[in-house]
Amino acid sequence: MTDVQRVEIEYCTQCRWLPRAAWLAQELLTTFEAELTELSLKPGKGGVFVVRVGDEVVWDRREQGFPEPTAVKKAVRDRVAPGKSLGHSDRPA
């Protein structure tokens, strides 16, 4: 784990995905309030919706579809706080 835990959500402004990106940002900030040092929303174009931890892409809509918050929380947790329990989100489906 590095000292800086930065998450970036890049979203398509043409598709009007800001509300979805802002909602996901809120979910991540609530879950990882002690672990994250920064969370940014990055306007993009061309249907982009990508979540990065540092420089690593952990979710890309083009490859994986739109994420459920639980899936993104698990991907972020695995990189910023591997031992952290996500409560009911960790239960198998």
Position 12 in a domain: yes
Position 81 in a domain: yes
Single pTM value for the model? 0.89
Position 82 in a domain: yes
The token pair at 40 is 């940014």
- CATH value at residue 46: 3.40.30.10
Position 23 in a domain: yes
Number of compact structural domains in the chain: 1
Long-range contacts at 41-44 (CB < 8 A, ≥ 24 apart): 41/8, 41/9, 41/11, 42/8, 42/9, 42/10, 42/11, 43/10, 43/11, 43/13, 43/18, 44/10, 44/11, 44/12, 44/13
* Average pLDDT value for residue range 18-33: 96
Is the pLDDT assigned to residue 92 strictly greater than 90? Answer: no
Write out the residue range of the structural domain in which residue 47 sits. Answer: 4-88
pLDDT the model gives residue 85 = 92
CA dihedral 71, 75, 81, 87 (to 10 degrees): 10
Position 83 in a domain: yes
Position 93 in a domain: no
38-61 per-position pLDDT tens digit: 999 999 999 999 999 999 999 999
